Amino acid sequence: MQSLLPNLFGGRLLLVPAKRATAYREPIDQPSIMSEARMLSFPKSRRLTRTSEFERVKQGGTTQRGKFILLGVLAVQKSGACRAGLVTSRRLGSAVLRNRIRRRLSEIVRTYQYNLREDLWIVLVARRDAASASYHALEDEWLRLAKRASILAL
């Protein structure tokens, strides 16, 4: 690929080859930015997605109730890393409001996902008061309910 760049010598335009983008590789001894980004992500493999999984947690799990969220927990043998699901019903308000609550709750779970015990399925149900709660209030309640349910591996 070539681009037109002005030549300062003589005021003529010359065809100069453009620089090609090359992949930058970090030394093996240093952690890469991508591995750090993967650690901070919340992939689909760590989420509950099927209705049957939510029903299984509801039927066989334990429930902790708070002012803003309801926490359902089910121990599942050999399921690997902790998986979480979020429920925001239409009773909370508009789609914009529901999505804001969903984003806040998923960010809280994403932040604490490596502090949770393995072989657990977790369901967070947003209650009506969550619509007016701040992020920090939701986070404080999440920590309180998680400690009460003994799901933190701290």
pLDDT tens per residue across span 87-146: 999 999 999 999 999 999 999 999 988 888 888 999 999 999 999 999 999 999 999 999
Q: CA angle at residue 129 from 127 to 132, to 5 degrees?
A: 130
Q: What is the CATH number assigned to the segment(s) 44-149?
A: 3.30.230.10
* CA distances to 28, 109, 112 from 40, in Å: 20, 11, 10
Confidence of residue 79 (pLDDT cuts 50, 70, 90): confident
The domain limits of the chain are 2-40, 44-149
* pLDDT of 35: 53
Average pLDDT in the chain: 81
Q: Which token pair is 97?
A: 């409001």
Three-state SS at 106: helix
Name which residue leads in pLDDT, 102 or 43.
102
Query: Which residue is listed with tokens 């393995």?
Result: 118
Whether pTM > 0.85 for this model: the answer is no
Q: Could you list the beta-strand ranges (E) of 18-144.
A: 62-65, 69-75, 83-87, 120-126
